[in-house]
Amino acid sequence: MGKKEYSIGIIKKISVEKGYGLVNDGKDEKNFIFGNASLAEGFKLEDLKAGDYVYFVPNEVDDTKRYANDINLVPSENEVLKGKIRSLKKLDKKGRKYKHIFPENFERTFILYSSFPINYLDGLSFDGLTNDQEIFFKLKVMRSKNGYILSVAEISKSNETPTIKITGNNLIEKTSNEIINVLKTNLDEIKKGETFEDYCALVLNLLGVELYQYSRKKQAGRADGIIKT
């Protein structure tokens, strides 16, 4: 049996009563359908909810029939995983050095490049990672032009979360980052132009900009709204 090729997706709908769910891989608006039999061992539909990130094996029969198999939850951004570095003296097709992380208790490996925006802790660095070195790491889901991808966010020598003293500046920075992340996540889900316009107006209002939007019936041939200066 060949190696399984997994995709990353976000749960769009769960219907426990009807026994199915929908997942989208971020490449287009077409969803993959799945049922209880499509879930990884030990999972039930009740364990999933809309908005959860999962990894799955896609099965595209044709343009109208898309099925998702072996569905499993992606580790949360706070979950610490354990793995080993595999550093091969090879270059990719563009002549760049790369390394791999082989995780414990996870069904896929991760590739590392020096250019990847990874938070290295405990004095670690890309060049400093050695073959067979044991590391701990965290993951994050990102959306690219090719759909959702699962990327390494942080690498450390231990699985202990460092204690950070919260000061006024740290609290402001933490809160700002959380707001920005929420805005970015919501933006990824916007598909319609009019929804994007409303979202932009909301963000501007949050920034303190005095904005008035015309109703959609009155926008034809004129501006969508006015900004008070």
Count of positions (residues) in the chain? 229
Q: Examine domains 7-73 and 80-156 and report if their fold is the same.
A: yes
pLDDT in tens, 105-116: 887 899 999 889
Q: How confident is the model at residue 1 (pLDDT cuts 50, 70, 90)?
A: very low
Q: What's the CA gap between 97 and 89, in Å, rounded?
A: 8
Q: How confident is the model at residue 135 (pLDDT cuts 50, 70, 90)?
A: very high
**Fold of the domain spanning 80-156:** OB fold (Dihydrolipoamide Acetyltransferase, E2P) (2.40.50)
Cβ neighbours of residue 55 under 8 Å, at least 6 residues apart? Answer: 6, 7, 8, 9, 71, 72, 74, 107, 108, 150
Which pTM was predicted?
0.64
Domain at 7-73: CATH code: 2.40.50.140
Percent helix, strand and coil across the chain, each rounded to 5?
Answer: 20, 35, 45
Q: How confident is the model at residue 45 (pLDDT cuts 50, 70, 90)?
A: very high
Domain limits, the chain: 7-73, 80-156, 168-207
Q: Are 91 and 76 in contact (CB under 8 A)?
A: no
Helix, strand or coil for residue 70? strand
